[in-house]
Copies of this chain bind each other. A is one copy, B any other.
Amino acid sequence: MKKLITLLLIVIFMATPAMAEKKIRWKLAMTWPSGLTPLTSPPAKLAKMVDDMTNGNFIIVVDGEESHKSALGILDMVEEGVYEMGHSASYYWKGKDVTTTIFTTVPFGMTAAEQNSWLYYGGGMELMQECYNQFNVYAFPGGNTGVQMGGWFRKEITSLKDLQGLKMRIPGLAGEVFARLGVSIANIPAGELYTLLDRGTIDALEWVGPGMDIRMGFHKVAPYYYTGWHEPASDLQFLINKQQYDNLPKEYQAILKAAMKAVSADMYAENFYDSAEAWAKMKKDYPGIQVKSFPEEVLKRMKEETEKVLDGYADQNPFFKRVLTSQQEFMNKAREWTTISDYYYIETSAAIQ
């Protein structure tokens, strides 16, 4: 009997590491409708990875916009603990705190490689967390689209004059900048965009890049595809309710962090792959598509107006200024490196083609 009790105690002792295998079931709300790859890939792959890594003990159920019906309510729902976790883009919280916007991307700002270096090594993640503390959430990078294209235009833009009265769908800061250049900004639901562009009700629109644009069909009705300036590296975020995260066993916290990092990098590769393939297909099927960059006089004015808007926020908001300054100081160094590495490599390779 005594022996048996000792044995029982030993078995109980041996079993204690299994504490960490506590069954946990979380819900994650994403801004996107389910299936809208590559935006939905980080949460979908995260859930699968975490399941596999914990032998099914830590389950994350991913809800798309079609089930929670609150694409722009992700931050609120995670803050309140309705969802333990969310996946969205920081610039949707401009109304709550304008500083959130520049953790997504900045017009004429950093590329994905530059931004990842800043986030992971240049103090960016610490600043992002400082910003999100007020919402009771932890924020982590959640995937990057890379350079987004400047949009599809029915007519070529050869000067500032061509922008006067142009009707365009382009949201956010880029829309603000275009408005200052005389463009009439239209706010149109995604489902109507193709028809309105086809009919000429709008003259232009911005979406993402070839990988996502091809499904919308814009290239069939607006042959001028402009290169990007306004979203050089749009970053998505995972948001996690602080108490829920803090209550996790330490191993599950580590598992979540590793998975978030892995799926973030993966989304960039997926979107790059999709875009390379989609662009090849578009060009083949619609050889009339012309890639254009905005004329210098247009780009210069875009940049001036961008700086005015950013400086305006920085003047009013010391934390915005701190984040913007941190980004700009790193970017100045990073761009030199991008230029002598990737840029000259592409340039010299093209020169001898």
Contacts and interface: CB of A to CB of B under 8 A. Distances in A.
Contacts of A255: 53, 255, 258
A296 B353 CA distance: 11
B53 A114 contact: no
Given A49-B258, A279-B337, A352 B296 contact: yes
A121 B342 contact: no
A113 interface: yes
A117 B250 contact: no
B336 A120 contact: no
Contacts of A8: 4, 7-8, 11
A348 interface: yes
Contacts of A330: 276
A262 interface: yes
A337 B299 contact: no
Interface in A244-273: 249-251, 254-255, 258-259, 261-262, 264-266, 268-270, 272-273
A122 B333 CA distance: 32
A51 B149 CA distance: 42
Contacts of A337: 210, 272, 275-276, 279
A26 interface: no
A303 B336 contact: no
Contacts of A351: 296, 299
A152 to B, nearest CB: 13
A152 B149 CA distance: 37
A116 interface: yes
Interface in A66-113: 108, 111-113
A276 B343 CA distance: 14
A293 B209 CA distance: 31
A134 interface: no
Interface in A270-300: 270, 272-273, 275-277, 279-280, 283, 291, 293-294, 296, 299-300
Nearest to A330: B276
A20 interface: yes
A317 interface: no
Nearest to A229: B348
24 contacts: A4-B5, A8-B8, A15-B15, A17-B21, A53-B53, A116-B269, A117-B270, A118-B273, A119-B269, A120-B266, A120-B269, A120-B270, A121-B269, A147-B342, A227-B345, A229-B349, A272-B334, A293-B344, A293-B347, A299-B348, A299-B352, A335-B346, A342-B346, A343-B343
